[in-house]
Amino acid sequence: MSSFFLKSEPKVKGRKRKNNTALKPKTKTKTKKEAEDEEIESDDAFGDEGEDDLDGNEEAIAETPQEKRLRLAKQYLEEIEKEERSRREDEDITDHVSRRLQDEYLDSIGRLRKKIADNYTGYNKDSIKILKHKRQKLPLTVVVSSNDNSIMFSGGKTSVVVKWDLTTFKALGTFDCQSVNEVDSSGKKRRPHIMAMAISTNMKFLAVAEGGNDIQIWCPNELKHLKTFKGHRDMVTCLVFKRDSHDLYSGSKDRCVKLWNLDEMVYVESLFGHQSSITGIDALSRDRAITSGGSDCTVRIWKITEESQLIYNGHIGGIESVKYINDENFFSCGTDGSLCLWSTMKKKPLHTSNLVHGTASNLEPNWISAISCVFNTDLLASGSCDGYIRVWKMDTSKKLVQLFEIPAPGFVNSLSFTNDGKYLIAALGQEHKLGRWWRDKSGRNEIRVIELEKINKIES
C-alpha cells in the first residue's frame, strides 16, 4: 500500500516541540517496510475519521468523471424537486386562503353563487314538525324567518301573530294586531287578516300588513308596537326590507309601491306604473325593488336612484309572486300554473316550466300560490293546491329541474327557506290566502317545518 495514506506529525508554529523522549521507553527502530505494514494493520493510526476518508477516497477512485457528473446532476435534480414541491404546497395554501377570503367577501356583499341543489336528496319524513297555536285556528297565510335562523313569525286569517323558536319549535309569544287598530266610523275596530310580513336583517323591526291600508311596525324581540304607517289607498298585499337596512318597500292593491324609512319612521316616496293590483315584491341590497303586477301580467324592477323602471313580460295569466335568486336572476309564478326563470338583462324569460303543479278537475292549471329560494344558490321551491311542495334546481343552462316533491295537504299560502338551507317552512290552509271562494276540506290549517336531507355539507 502506498505511503500516501500515512499521516505525518503536524507542525506547530511559533514554538518548539518539547522533547518527551525521556518519558517514553526506548523502542527498536523499525524498517520502512515494517512501519508501513504496521500502519496499515493498526486501527490507532487513522481512527474512525481515517476510515471514513479511506472509504470516500476509494469511492472517488472507483468513480469515473462521467459517473461523478451524473451523480451530481441527480443530486441537483432532487434538490430542485424538493424546492418545487415545497413551493407548490405553499402556493396551494396561498390559493386556498385567497379563494376563501374572496368567497367570504362575495358572500358578505351577496354575490357568491353557491351550487347546493345536487347535495339534496329529499326530506326527513320523521322529523317534520307540525306547529299549531290555539290563537291561529284559521288558514295560515304567511311565515317569515330571521336572518340567523333562530326564530320565525306566522300569521293567518286571524289578527294574531305568533313568534316561534326554530330550535325548540315552541311558541315564544304572540301579539294581536287588532289591539292597535283605530275605531272606524261605526265605533268598531276592523278585524285584521294578516296578509304579509317582513323582518329586518338585524331583527330590529317586524312589518305587518294586517289586511287593511295600514302597515304596523313591531319590535320582534319585545313584541311591542312601534308605529303604524298610513298612506296606501287600498289593502297592502306585500312587504319586504332592503337587505342590511331599515328601508321598507310595500305593495298594494292601489297599484302603488311605497318606500318607508324606519330609522326616521317616515314615508319616503311612491312608485307608479302597474296597471293592476301588486301581488308580490322582493328586494336585495341595491336600491332596487322587484314587483309582480297581478293581472297586468308584468314584472317590474324599480331603479330607485335613477327614478326609472324595467318591464318584463312572459306569463299568460296573472302573476302571483316574484322572487330574487341573486342580483342577476329571479323567478316568478302565476295563475297560469307556470314557473318562469328570468335574467335581469332580458325582457323575456330564460326558461318557462308549464303546468308544474298539474291541473284541477276542470282542466284549469293549478294556481301557484307561493315560491321561495335559498338566496344566491340554485335551490328553489314552489307550492300550490295539488297537495305537494315541489323542490327545484336551477341548472347551468338556466333551466328548472325538479328534484323531489313533499306532501302538503291544502293550499300552500307561503314558503320560506332558512338561510342555511336546513329547513323549508310552509304555511298551509284550507283556503287561499286571498279569499274563500275555493275550499279544500282535506287541507290542514298549520305550519310545517320540513328538514331537508343532504348527502354532504353545502359547498360553494
**Residue spans per domain, the chain:** 65-109, 117-454
Domain covering 117-454, topology: Methylamine Dehydrogenase; Chain H (2.130.10)
Per-residue cell: 233: 289607498
- Between CA 157 and CA 58 the distance in angstroms is 100
Residue 142: per-residue pLDDT? 97
Could you give the 3-state DSSP secondary structure of residue 23? Answer: helix
In this prediction the pTM is 0.76
Q: What is the 3-state secondary structure (H, E, C) of 241-307?
A: ECCCCCEEEEEECCCEEEEEECCCCEEEEEEECCCCCCCEEEECCCCEEEEECECCCEEEEEECCCC
Residue 109: per-residue pLDDT? 55
End-to-end CA distance of the chain: 75
Which segments of 86-235 are extended strands (E)? 120-123, 129-131, 140-145, 151-156, 160-165, 171-176, 196-199, 206-209, 215-219, 224-229
- Between CA 189 and CA 156 the distance in angstroms is 18
Closest CA to 219 of 246, 192, 181: 246
Q: Which pLDDT tens digits describe the chain residue by residue (460 residues)?
A: 444 333 444 444 444 444 444 444 444 455 544 544 444 444 444 344 444 444 444 544 577 888 888 888 888 888 877 777 776 666 665 566 566 666 666 665 556 678 999 999 999 999 999 999 999 999 999 999 999 999 999 999 999 999 999 999 999 999 999 988 877 666 677 788 999 999 999 999 999 999 999 999 999 999 999 999 999 999 999 999 999 999 999 999 999 999 999 999 999 999 999 999 999 999 998 999 999 999 999 999 999 999 999 999 989 889 999 999 999 999 999 999 999 999 999 999 999 999 999 998 889 999 999 999 999 999 999 999 999 999 999 998 889 999 999 999 999 999 999 999 999 999 999 999 988 777 888 899 999 999 999 986 544 4
Closest CA to 285 of 304, 306, 300, 267: 304
Per-residue cell: 366: 293549478
**Contact assessment for residue 113 and residue 104, using Cβ atoms and an 8 Å cutoff:** no
Could you give the 3-state DSSP secondary structure of residue 375? Answer: coil
DSSP string, 315-329: -SS-EEEEEESSSSE
Residue 361: per-residue pLDDT? 86
- Between CA 101 and CA 52 the distance in angstroms is 55
Q: Which phi and psi angles does 71 have, rounded to 5°?
A: -65, -45
DSSP string, 24-79: S---PPPPHHHHHHHHHH-STTTHHHHHHHHHHHHHHHHS-HHHHHHHHHHHHHHH
Residue 103: per-residue pLDDT? 63
Q: How big is the chain, counted in residues?
A: 460
Residue 263: per-residue pLDDT? 96
Burial class (CB in 10 A: 0-12, 13-18, 19+), 186: exposed
For residue 282, the Cα-to-chain-centroid distance in whole angstroms is 18
Closest CA to 213 of 243, 191, 237, 196: 237
CA 28-34-37 angle, to 5 degrees, is 135
Residue 176: per-residue pLDDT? 95
- Between CA 329 and CA 352 the distance in angstroms is 14
Per-residue cell: 295: 293581472
Closest CA to 223 of 276, 266, 189, 177: 177
The Cα-based distances of 39 to 5, 43, 277 in angstroms read 9, 8, 114
Closest CA to 418 of 148, 22, 236, 159: 148
Residue 5: per-residue pLDDT? 38
Per-residue cell: 74: 441527480
Residue 110: per-residue pLDDT? 57
